[in-house]
Chain A
Amino acid sequence: MGVYHIEKGHNLPLAGSAELKLEELPQAQTVSVNFTDYPSRKFRLFVKAGDTVKAGQGLCSCKAEEDLVFTTPVAGTVKEINRGARRALLNIVIEVSDSNDVVEYPTWDADKIKSSDREALAKALRESGMWQLVRQRPFSTVADPQALPKSIFINAMNTGPNNADQEFLVQGREAEFAAGLSAISKFTDGQVHLVTQPNSTVKAFTEAEGVNHHTFEGVHPAGLTGTHIGLIDPINKGDVVWFAKADQVALMGEFLLTGKVPSHQVIAITGAQAPINAYAKVLRGAQISDLVDIDFDKLRVVSGDVLSGVAMGPTEGLGIYENQVSVLPECKEQFYLGEDRHWTGAGVNRYSTFRLFLSKIIDKDAWDLDTSLNGEERGIVLPDVYDRFSPLDIPFNFLVKACLAEDIDSMEKLGLLELDPEDVALATFACPSKTEVSEIIRRGLAILEKEG
């Protein structure tokens, strides 16, 4: 039971946070099941374009692990199967029908979960497409049931820009969360760590059983799983830690209790440019243009938050691990010498973590940041910036250089295995040389993963 206060980091004061209310949105007509969430996996398809599918039906399985099935949350017709470079599977688009055809899986009650063995539970989750909600570190890949973790982390809080509030998402879902938590807890002989904000009002969290309950507060990245793991039970070479977000644990619990793959999830639609800033219960993977009317030429729509999310096109939907849509304006303008947003300008409208612009003196707490790079990529000139934005004991400047040099030995020794690209997103944001720190870390992790 730890209480943690994070001081190293930064809260991005982004405008357009979702109001804590559920908005009614029209039902989406198309759903996109994403496979970009599972990089470097190959899939064996069960369906082809034109097939009718029931809700919860398997669409494909992973070639390397044939028992890991990927299912559709809705009933309908397979509209498209999109592939990318080297025939990599990008997504499967389902046209939603009103049919009530549902694949009925066995139901599990609280006692059955408690008394079950790991294999049975894993099988139930893997054949229904729910297992994927649990990931493991290092590498943030789908958890491997053959490599049991030393501990499991459930993230029930968030500090990122306009993140969907876990307190709001899980409020009232005590039974579902407890069921999911009970199921996941089976898979470790070590501790299950539940991290919430201080003074949580959600009974599901405060009355959770069999967990070590920690609270984190302070500046972002206090809410990132990487921070929790790094401060509570850091990953050393050879360790495996599993993690999941609290609302996804509730989804797993919903499946176990009802025997049906959950069709809906509550998401937050955020960003000052979005037509609404509220939560909505939508089909999982709903095509974004069905949900909100957005001008994709002028705006960028991101699955996730602006620090780590993936840009979406109009026909795409949220990734399986995301519960937030972020809308921000694309920067199409250039600013000239003498103007405020030029690099010589006073900078009243230029947001910065550094004390070099007039914006620092202005009391503005909601910024509609655009996608401008605000500079150009240069060599790293301020090597100590990155360390200011993470509480982890990692020398980030040297780790970045080890990744660039592909020095595998140094990458490991300097703690790359503890990181996910989102853990260095703030460093990427702040770097005046516009170094793509998150991408460098991502590539470094890919190299390490390949080395084994």
Chain B
Amino acid sequence: MLRNFSKGPLDALMEASHKVGPLKALHRAIEANDTFVRTPKKVTETRVHVRDGLDTKRLMSTVIVALIPCLLFAIYNAGYQKLNGITETGGFTLGSIEPNTINYMIHGAYHILPMVAITYFIGLHIEMIFACVRDHEVNEGFLVSGMLIPLTMPPDAPLWMIAVSTAFGVIVGKEVFGGTGMNFLNPALTARAFMFFSYPTAISGDQVWKAVDVAKDKVVDGYSAATPLLEATSVRGEDIVGHLNSKGFSFSDMFLGLIPGSAGETSTAIILLGAFILIITGVGSLRIMLSTVVGALVMGWIFNIFAGPESLGIMHIPAYYHIVMGGFAFGTVFMATDPVSAAATPTGRIWYGFFIGVLAVLIRVVNPAYPEGMMLAILFMNMFAPFFDHYVIKGNIKRRLARG
């Protein structure tokens, strides 16, 4: 069907971008488009004559499928937070708006979808330029990063900042090292880290976590865009659970996720659905996910032991609360499990995940400036992943030498 009317134009384009054709410089971009619409003609040319049906396109698409629930929830939540926090908005429509699902989705989409669009637009164009200049195929890695980056941003982050961060993430996080499969840092987190360090006011503080512009929109009484993490790190004393409950942040509230926060990170329930998809298809590493959670629980428990009556609320918080607060769940399921930047050996992965969990909680508790530690923990462990693998491999080599 599609075959009938696209074969001609596609063949013509490929012909024109051939080695001596007029569109030679755009060959890789045209080829990327071609291999999107139809499978390449490539056949096996070595002694392994048959191949598995899975390719990187399908692999990356599966991660996107696991992220779509997060995206949909992000849209809903952005709308929900906004419409339940204001009485009037001077932005989209005049007058007050009925708080119902349709309106949540419409208003949420207004904030979230441009972020997704700009990320893909910038990222894919940069990938194509690199592919054309270096003369290699456009890699599919960005299909996933392009969805991850906007979901880690505050719901109303300025689009130009996201664009610049995405460019940095793709270029320095990946292309500089040779493209997909060669990076040692998670490109989506590299983009977010750039955003965090370059434009800290856009990504921290207690005003950015709802898509509400306090200058333009009229807010309700008692309006607050503070996240659970901000609350937990701004009070002291043992009854932190009670304090959080009073702010509308009970465990089930945070698990469900209709709370302020980064676009896709708030709902642990929805993230668990994504985790289920990744695990059942074998794409995501359950090992990394579990060891990260264990690491966080251990560190949270240690802090509980050392917490005194004057300690910050976050030290007193039950360890399992860390999983539903902030970007922990999202990072565990979608960022830490990136197979290229994680450790490669099974044992290495256990240590890698464990220390991500430990470090995330550690940074949350002792960092005075910024309460979220997940991004930094994962990036730091990305750097240490080869270290863990190195020692596992050393053990393997030792076993082999001992045989001889």
Interface residues of A (CB under 8 A from B): 12, 14, 234, 236-239, 300, 302, 304, 306-311, 326, 328, 330-332, 334-339, 341-344, 347, 350-357, 359, 369-384, 387, 393-395, 397-398, 413-415, 421, 425, 428-434, 436, 438-439
Q: Within 8 Å CB of B137, what residues of A? A: 376-378
| B48 and A354 form a contact (CB under 8 A) | no
Q: State whether A334 touches B41 (Cβ < 8 A).
A: yes
The verdict on A379 contacting B179 (CB below 8 Å), with A343-B55, A373-B42 known, is: yes
In the complex, residue of chain B having the shortest beta-carbon distance to the beta carbon of A382: B339
Q: Is the beta-carbon distance between A425 and B48 smaller than 8 angstroms?
A: yes
Contact A359 B139 (CB under 8 A): no
- Is A337 in contact with B2, judged by CB distance below 8 angstroms? yes
Q: Name the residue of chain A whose CB is nearest to the CB of B57.
A: A343
Q: Tell me which residues across on chain B come within 8 A of A398, comparing CB atoms.
A: 344, 389, 393
CA A374 – CA B340 in complex, angstroms?
Answer: 21
Contact A369 B50, CB 8 Å, known A342-B39, A344-B61, A398-B393? yes
Instruction: Select the stretch in B217-225, B370-378, B396-404 that faces chain A.
Output: B396-404
Task: Give the interface of B toward A (CB within 8 A).
Answer: 1-3, 6-7, 35-44, 46-59, 61-62, 137, 139-141, 178-182, 280-283, 285, 339-340, 344-346, 389, 392-393, 396-397, 399-401, 403-404
Query: How long is the Cα–Cα vector from A429 to B47 in the complex, in angstroms?
Result: 10
The answer to whether B344 and A415 touch across the interface, beta carbons within 8 angstroms, is no
Q: Which residues of A contact B7 (CB under 8 A)?
A: 336
What B residues does A413 contact at CB under 8 A? Answer: 397, 400-401
Residues of B within 8 A of A372 (CB): 39, 42-44, 51
Say whether B48 contacts A308, CB under 8 Å: yes
On chain A, the residues within 8 Å of B401 by CB distance are 236, 413
Which 8 residue pairs of A and B lie closest in terms of their CB atoms, listed nearest first? A379-B181, A375-B55, A236-B404, A350-B53, A352-B53, A373-B42, A383-B344, A336-B3
Shortest Cβ gap from B182 to chain A (Å): 6
Smallest CB separation, B64 vs chain A (Å): 11
**How many residue pairs, one in A and one in B, have C-beta atoms under 8 Å apart?**
209
Residue of A nearest to B179 (CB): A379
- Expressed in whole angstroms, the minimum distance between the Cβ of A260 and any Cβ of chain B is 33
Residues on A with beta carbons closer than 8 Å to the beta carbon of B282: 354-356
**Shortest Cβ distance from A16 into chain B, in angstroms?**
13
- Say which residue of A14, A328, A352 sits within 8 Å of B54 (CB atoms): A352
Max chain B Cβ within 10 angstroms of own Cβ: one of A330, A378, A430: A378
Task: Pick 15 A–B contacts, CB within 8 A, sort by A.
Answer: A326-B49, A335-B38, A343-B39, A344-B58, A351-B53, A354-B52, A374-B53, A375-B40, A376-B55, A378-B140, A378-B180, A379-B139, A398-B344, A425-B48, A432-B54
Extra 5 A-B pairs, beta carbons < 8 Å, given A337-B2, A353-B52: A237-B404, A331-B43, A374-B55, A395-B392, A398-B389
Partner of B393, one of A309, A310, A414: A414
Given contacts A356-B54, A395-B345, contact A307 B2 (CB under 8 A): no
